[in-house]
Amino acid sequence: MPSIAVLLCNLGTPDEPTPAAVRRYLAEFLADPRVVEIPRALWLPLLYGVILPRRAGASAAKYKSIWTSDGSPLKVWTERQAKRLQGWLGEHGRQVRVLPAMRYGNPSIRAQLDELAAAKVGRILILPCYPQYSGTTTASVIDGVSDWSRATRSIPEFRFVNRYHDDRGYIEAYARRIEKHWREHGRGDHLVMSFHGVPERIIRLGDPYQDECSRTAKLLATKLMLEDGQYTLTYQSRFGRARWLEPYTEPTVQQLARKGVQRLDIVCPGFTSDCLETLEEIAMEVRDAFLQAGGQEFRYIPCLNDETAWIAALGALAERHLSGWD
């Protein structure tokens, strides 16, 4: 058994596309104070009394629309990435165990760390599936590890990858993904890069997420040799009434259609695995909005998933952070 491990951490998913399972998942997700920064005394009664009863059924229907025979796409892709990453590291001389883990849902960070501790793994690299750092995502993963550590007598040595928004391998892998799509399906009139949104307030409080999204988009555009007018950075998945980062994705694609963009390509560089937010929100809801606004062709470009170039980039990233652990 290797004494070193990598925990590949993604956001999470319900165990099945049913209202009960979705409610359990959303309760864990939305109760995280990193995700919703509202005083608990105000937020939790609203969450359990209003939001979960209203959202569970509708969200379950959305999950059902993208569910596969193997289960949730996000879980499937994260598991494949972990398996292939372990293989890549092994081929490059690193005898490292790689496990997938979910911040919310299963397999949980706690359960996977329990398994590694039982196997007496003494050194663990925490590798979140979030290229851009945010307190709502990366920091929450760190919280999950800390929560486990507080209840553990013998704590392994940890290292954390906080960000890789400007990593050369990550940028090149996404550029190859887009270029491959263009070769196979043709190139649209305009490219939208849609990132997951966050409340504007957290940026004012010092969260670097917006700057890192902008940096990723600029590097990707440069790699693709796109000029400023050929692409647009947007933010999706707004929740609640607070002001979130703008421009919002759906209104932007509608505006592009009204301005005469007939063929639109859209990619989600902040996601490394396809999931509800890409397959349902973008590839279905945003697509319908674009077509109803007068657009003719809407092409969603899939995430990196288990593309070979991405696994190599992920492996090189892990290898750098594993340096010195022999």
- How do residues 25-73 score in pLDDT, each as one tens digit? 999 999 999 999 999 999 999 999 999 999 999 999 999 999 999 999 9
Cβ pair 108, 15 in contact under 8 A: no
Q: Percentage of the chain with pLDDT > 90?
A: 98
pLDDT at 1 over 70: no
Mean pLDDT in residue range 192-202 = 97
Long-range contacts of 112-119 (CB under 8 A, 24+ apart): 112/7, 113/7, 113/145, 113/148, 113/152, 114/148, 116/5, 116/7, 116/156, 117/152, 117/154, 117/156, 119/1
pLDDT band with cut points at 50, 70 and 90 for residue 241: confident
3-class state of residue 122 by DSSP: coil
The C-alpha angle with vertex 116 and arms to 115 and 118, in degrees rounded to 5, equals: 65
Mean pLDDT in residue range 288-313 = 98
Distances (CA, A) of 225 to 165, 184, 192, 198, 222: 18, 19, 15, 28, 5
Beta strands in the chain (DSSP E): 4-13, 97-105, 123-128, 157-160, 190-196, 231-236, 263-267, 297-301
pLDDT digits (tens, 9 = 90+) for 99-154: 999 999 999 999 999 999 999 999 999 999 999 999 999 999 999 999 999 999 99
pLDDT given for residue 214 in this prediction: 98
d(CA 178, CA 53): 39
pLDDT digits (tens, 9 = 90+) for 176-186: 999 999 999 99
Backbone φ and ψ for 315, nearest 5 degrees, come out as -65, -45
Mean pLDDT in residue range 265-290 = 98
Residue 137 structure tokens: 């995502």
d(CA 63, CA 65): 5
Place of tokens 């359960």: 111
DSSP secondary structure string for all residues of 43-76:
HHHHIIIIIHHHHHHHHHHHHHHH-BTTB-HHHH
Q: Percentage of the chain with pLDDT > 70?
A: 100
Mean pLDDT in residue range 11-15 = 98
